[in-house]
Structure 1
Amino acid sequence: MFLTMLNVWVPGGEVIIASTVANRAIAVMALMVTGLLSLRLRRTQEAIALTQAKLQAQEQLVKLREDFASTLTHDLKTPLLGAIETLKAFQKEKFGSVSSQQQKVLATMIHSHDSSLQFVETLLDVYRNDTEGLKLHLEPVDLTVLAEEVATTLMEVAATRRVNLSFRYGDSDFRSSLWVKGDAWQLQRVLTNLLINAINHSRRGDRVEVILESQADYQVVKILDTGAGIQPEQFPHLFERFYQGNSDRQAKGSGLGLYLSRQIIEAHNGIIWAENRTDSKDISATAKSGAIFGFKLSVYPYQPS
């Protein structure tokens, strides 16, 4: 810029006219703008390069975490399955006679290993769903049948903790079908998680109630317990990964059941929620304390042949 303006007088001997000075001034302004743009471009490129480096580092970290979780859960499943089968072989007296007291110990060990295996499989599913998305096998599903089947499998767990399970079909006294289009196995997992959650939050002698009702556009499932309820500060975190909260629940979970349930219901384009029974507009609720966990899915007009 300095040399461009100096060229008006140097080398000299020429008549200086206004147009020459104007041309030099325009050239100086062009050089100034070019310099500023070049500086800004260089800074932008440096910022882009830094951002790309950070993104690559984050992607590598995420991949490393996913690979670690996948490898860990896969490596844990094999010995757990082997231990369960070995214990079942002992139960069946394939290695010699087993006393009744030993049978009880073996049953406890098998139940413990089954719980660990379920946690490992849930953890693997959660990470797989986060990275690959949840793959659904959609078909007509009756939520009423599904809920009753899940409740039947959990009767022994509920009985052990002296918790009663009951069903209510909305405002009707008659059992009715709730058809949706969904993945039966995945929805079964949601119902299992919500029922176990309710049983774990119940005290001995309490009742867990399953309400099945049909609305204009949705089929609704609600699971009510009579526990201590949900603290206001817990609501934003209930469906987060590994969140357990503070409660007097009878058994601590992994903190993955509600998170996985949310993944499944959202993959079905449904809604899942939680509320306290004291806040619910359900006037038919028989207890003043406790929580409600529910979900709703779009009605599927299916008529079985």
Structure 2
Amino acid sequence: MNFVAIIFLLMVIVLAFFIAMLFLVNHFQLLTPERDGHLFPLYFIIFLSLVIGAALSIFVGKRILQPIGDLRQAMSQVAKGDFTIQLSEEKQMEDVEELYHDFNLMVKELGSIETLRNDFVSTVSHEFKTPIATIKGYVQLLQNEALSPAERGEYLERMLEGTQQLTHLTDNILKLSKLENQGLGLDFQGFRLDEQIREVILFLQPKWEQLNLSLDLDLPRTEFYGNEEFLYQVWLNLMDNAIKYSQKNSSIHVHLQNTESEQIITLSDEGIGMTPEITERIFDKFYQSDTSRKTKGNGLGLALAKQIVELHQGRIEVKSSPDQGSKFKIYLPNNLKNS
């Protein structure tokens, strides 16, 4: 619109100028053959027309066509995979400035997506590579006929652990993909929330008994409307993490609070805790605070839990300090059935 307005205004000015020139020529009879140099005004008008036309062409070329050409070249670079290119937004017409701003923003977003994709591929490749290499190594060892039955059984057990790790990783990736693609198309139904949490605790009993952990449970009877399958995964991931990072002979606290508008589930441990930097990134996909990978896991559990809670229109919060344990709070609204 600015471009059209400018061209229209220039045309009006030029038209008014030529009308004024023709009026002067006619008024003073400058083009009469009887007058000496009567063709000079005509030559002057032609010359002035050329100057004005050239000025308009330069203006349009520099202010409108050149920015479009620069944008075309920049888009060609982006098409080749260069997401670092940025266009200067200064000293441009308002519409061109907005166009450049949107282009720069798009390139930044594409660069971020490309970085995430590369990180995802790199991390998944690393996660798959470790158990596969382990399984391959024990397969080679099993080819030794001199192995004792005890050694053979130990190697088979290690191979089984590797396959379970691969299964757990693929399951989590598939669940995240399902959540991201299906979104709010999850199947909601009524179930006992307190019983579900107890089932998870019983399922993980071998793990917390091995560390001699004591459990402080406060789970009043609670009817809830949501996706039973995925919420089970939330409690499983949170409880498994609490056990994994707890000290021997410590305690885990699981409380369920019923309110009129929501259910509040609090799960806290007395484990190693986390720094503020780790706490900020704990829900990122594939993020692991233990870069040495001494602890089992693939950095998907908490990301999966957060996404499930958000699909139930809830939220999850965490508070933690090093050597002081961690406390997770999950808020689930009660009005999902009517939403």
Q: Normalising by structure 1, report the TM-score.
A: 0.66
Selected match of 2:280 from 228, 232, 236:
236
1:222 paired residue number:
266
Secondary structure at 2:285 match in 1: coil
Secondary structure at 1:274 match in 2: strand
How many matched pairs? 252
Distance 1:116 1:140 in 2: 33
Instruction: Describe the shift of the 1:207–1:250 C-alpha distance in structure 2 as closer, same or farther (beyond 3 A).
Output: farther
Looking at both structures, which has the greater relative contact order when contacts are Cα pairs under 8 Å and sequence separation is at least 6? 1
1:114 paired residue number:
164
Instruction: Describe the shift of the 1:209–1:101 C-alpha distance in structure 2 as closer, same or farther (beyond 3 A).
Output: farther
Selected match of 1:33 from 43, 59, 62:
59
Distance 2:50 2:124 in 1: 67
1:180 paired residue number:
225
Structure 2: runs of 5 or more not aligned: 1-36, 84-106, 136-148
Once the two structures are TM-superposed, the CA of residue 233 in structure 1 deviates from its matched residue by: 1.8
2:329 paired residue number:
294
Secondary structure at 1:258 match in 2: helix
1:159 paired residue number:
209
Structure (1 or 2) with the larger CA radius of gyration: 2
Query: Structure 2 counterpart of 1:41, which letter?
Result: I
Distance 2:295 2:70 in 1: 56
Instruction: Describe the shift of the 1:141–1:13 C-alpha distance in structure 2 as closer, same or farther (beyond 3 A).
Output: farther
Distance 2:79 2:257 in 1: 51
Once the two structures are TM-superposed, the CA of residue 272 in structure 1 deviates from its matched residue by: 1.2
1:7 paired residue number:
none
Once the two structures are TM-superposed, the CA of residue 277 in structure 1 deviates from its matched residue by: 7.7
Instruction: Describe the shift of the 1:142–1:13 C-alpha distance in structure 2 as closer, same or farther (beyond 3 A).
Output: farther
Structure 1: runs of 5 or more not aligned: 1-11, 81-98, 170-174, 279-287
Instruction: Describe the shift of the 1:52–1:133 C-alpha distance in structure 2 as closer, same or farther (beyond 3 A).
Output: farther
Selected match of 1:259 from 287, 293, 303:
303
Once the two structures are TM-superposed, the CA of residue 106 in structure 1 deviates from its matched residue by: 6.6
Correspondence 1:47-58 to 2 at 5 A: 47-54=74-81
Between Structure 1 and Structure 2, which shows a larger proportion of helix residues? Answer: 2
8 Å contact from structure 2 (residues 306, 316) kept in 1 = yes
Query: Structure 2 counterpart of 1:237, which letter?
Result: R
1:203 paired residue number:
247
Instruction: Describe the shift of the 1:111–1:25 C-alpha distance in structure 2 as closer, same or farther (beyond 3 A).
Output: closer
Distance 1:192 1:46 in 2: 52
Distance 1:105 1:38 in 2: 71
Q: Normalising by structure 2, report the TM-score.
A: 0.60
2:39 paired residue number:
14
Distance 1:243 1:150 in 2: 24
Once the two structures are TM-superposed, the CA of residue 237 in structure 1 deviates from its matched residue by: 0.9
Distance 1:154 1:257 in 2: 15
Q: Identity, % of aligned pairs?
A: 20
Correspondence 1:268-279 to 2 at 5 A: 268-276=312-320
Distance 1:23 1:106 in 2: 92
Q: Aligned-residue CA RMSD in angstroms? A: 4.2
Query: Structure 1 counterpart of 2:181, which letter?
Result: E
Instruction: Describe the shift of the 1:45–1:251 C-alpha distance in structure 2 as closer, same or farther (beyond 3 A).
Output: closer
Distance 1:32 1:259 in 2: 56
Distance 1:118 1:210 in 2: 25
Instruction: Describe the shift of the 1:212–1:178 C-alpha distance in structure 2 as closer, same or farther (beyond 3 A).
Output: farther
Selected match of 2:49 from 23, 31, 39:
23
Distance 1:100 1:261 in 2: 39
8 Å contact from structure 2 (residues 283, 303) kept in 1 = yes
8 Å contact from structure 2 (residues 256, 266) kept in 1 = yes
Selected match of 2:181 from 132, 136, 141:
132
Query: Structure 2 counterpart of 1:215, which letter?
Result: T
What whole-Å deviation, never above 9, does each CA across 1:152-179 have from its counterpart, x for those lacking one? 111122112212233114xxxxx22141
